[in-house]
Amino acid sequence: MGIFGKKPTGSGSNESAPATIIKDEEKTVKTEGLFFKCEACRAVLYKKDIEDNLLVCPKCNFHFRVASKPRLAMLFDDGQFQEFDHGLRSPDPLNFVDKQSYRERLLKAQEATGMMDALISAHGRLGGYECIICAMEYQFIGGSMGSVVGEKITRAVERARAERKPVIIVSASGGARMMEGALSLMQMAKISAALACLHEAKIPYISVLTDPTTGGVTASFAMLGDLNIAEPGALIGFAGPRVIEQTIRQKLPKGFQRAEFLLEHGMLDAIVSRHKMKPFLITALKFFTHSV
């Protein structure tokens, strides 16, 4: 059989069956989305290989950003977890409008991510230990912390205290959500107060900082863990490097605000590769459990 049609049918016939014309676009091998370049070393990578490697470049160990649901699946045993407080959504309390309304931005983010806001709270088992994990979603308005994110984290912490389960929060955020003004900033104090109560109850809280963790998130719960750990190369800070340079009128050191710089200056307890993150957390939970 030829690629343009079937062979003639019927004996003694000089007439061939009509050829099936294959359009040029049908002959083209479709590879869009199968390959992409590493943001660090620029190596061309096969998407499936990267996904199998936990979204880490095999060439240079660059850690790509991970969405909240895959992040939870990486951490919980067998990828199984139960989400709670998933129905909370912002009512747009300030009726905020800039180039478009905040309500429109929320709807677009909800459609794009399938989430109501920029955080998932879930409980399950990690290394056999029952725990609560909150994972932020950077694709939802930059993972910004509004009243819903603050409320969900606070509820998760209070639930952990009531059930005496350790808490892990995986941060990936541009900071407080400007569309909610002071209501967003209030979440910093609310979450910090809940974590203080958790600490008094001697229940462990582990903070995992990923790229990026900035603004009000860094200035509150992301740096309040009993153990603060980060992924390699993660951008971590309050104000951005460009803002700081313009303010102090000085050039910042190379690697400033990256996880390695913060570890060197005593702001982090450890930097852990994504491949080792789950066993590291299990060891930490084992330590905290036997220490309490």
Using DSSP's 3-state secondary structure scheme, residue 268 falls into coil
Domain boundary among 39, 64, 89: 64
Is residue 8 in a domain? no
Is residue 5 in a domain? no
pLDDT computed for residue 8 by the predictor: 37
Q: What is the pLDDT of residues 47-63, one digit of tens each?
A: 999 999 999 999 999 99
Is residue 96 in a domain? yes
Share of the chain above pLDDT 70, in %: 88
| Of residues 290 and 244, more confidently modeled | 244
Same domain, residue pair 230 and 274: yes
CATH number at residue 97: 3.90.226.10
d(CA 68, CA 138): 8
d(CA 258, CA 237): 8
Phi/psi at 133 (nearest 5 deg)? -125, 130
Same domain, residue pair 42 and 144: no
Number of domains in the chain: 2
Same domain, residue pair 74 and 183: yes
| Of residues 156 and 4, more confidently modeled | 156
Is residue 181 in a domain? yes
Same domain, residue pair 124 and 89: yes
pLDDT computed for residue 43 by the predictor: 94
Same domain, residue pair 87 and 182: yes
Biggest alpha carbon–alpha carbon distance for the chain: 95
Same domain, residue pair 82 and 58: no
Nearest to 38 by CA among 29, 27, 49: 49
Q: What is the pLDDT of residues 69-104, one digit of tens each?
A: 999 999 999 999 999 999 999 989 999 999 999 999
Q: Looking up tokens 């996904």, which residue turns up?
A: 51
Is residue 84 in a domain? yes
Chain-centroid distance, C-alpha 15? 63
Same domain, residue pair 225 and 204: yes
Same domain, residue pair 77 and 195: yes
The whole-number average pLDDT for the span 259-275 is 97
Domain boundary among 37, 64, 91: 64
Is residue 171 in a domain? yes
pLDDT higher than 70, residue 32: no
pLDDT computed for residue 232 by the predictor: 98
Q: What is the pLDDT of residues 113-141, one digit of tens each?
A: 999 999 999 999 999 999 999 999 999 99
Plot region of 187 (φ>0 → left; ψ -120 to 50 → alpha; else → beta):
alpha
Is residue 10 in a domain? no
Q: What is the pLDDT of residues 33-52, one digit of tens each?
A: 789 899 999 999 999 999 99
Work out the pLDDT band at 257, boundaries 50, 70, 90. Answer: very high
d(CA 50, CA 54): 6
Nearest to 121 by CA among 130, 134, 110: 134
pLDDT computed for residue 290 by the predictor: 78
Same domain, residue pair 32 and 128: no
pLDDT computed for residue 241 by the predictor: 84
pLDDT computed for residue 123 by the predictor: 98
pLDDT higher than 90, residue 148: yes
Same domain, residue pair 83 and 211: yes
pLDDT computed for residue 207 by the predictor: 98
How does DSSP assign 91-138, residue by residue? --TT--BSSSBHHHHHHHHHHHHS-SSSEEEEEEEETTEEEEEEEE-T
Same domain, residue pair 90 and 52: no
Domain boundary among 64, 91, 121: 64
pLDDT higher than 70, residue 22: no
Q: Count CA within 13 A, CB hemisphere, residue 124.
A: 20
Is residue 176 in a domain? yes
d(CA 134, CA 148): 13
pLDDT computed for residue 217 by the predictor: 98
pLDDT computed for residue 5 by the predictor: 40
As a 3-state breakdown, the chain gives helix, strand, coil percent values, each rounded to 5, of 40, 20, 40
Check if the beta carbon of residue 231 is closer than 8 Å to that of residue 66.
Answer: no
Domain that holds residue 40: 28-64
Q: What is the pLDDT of residues 155-192, one digit of tens each?
A: 999 999 999 999 999 999 999 999 999 999 999 999 99
- pTM for the model stands at 0.87
Same domain, residue pair 261 and 156: yes
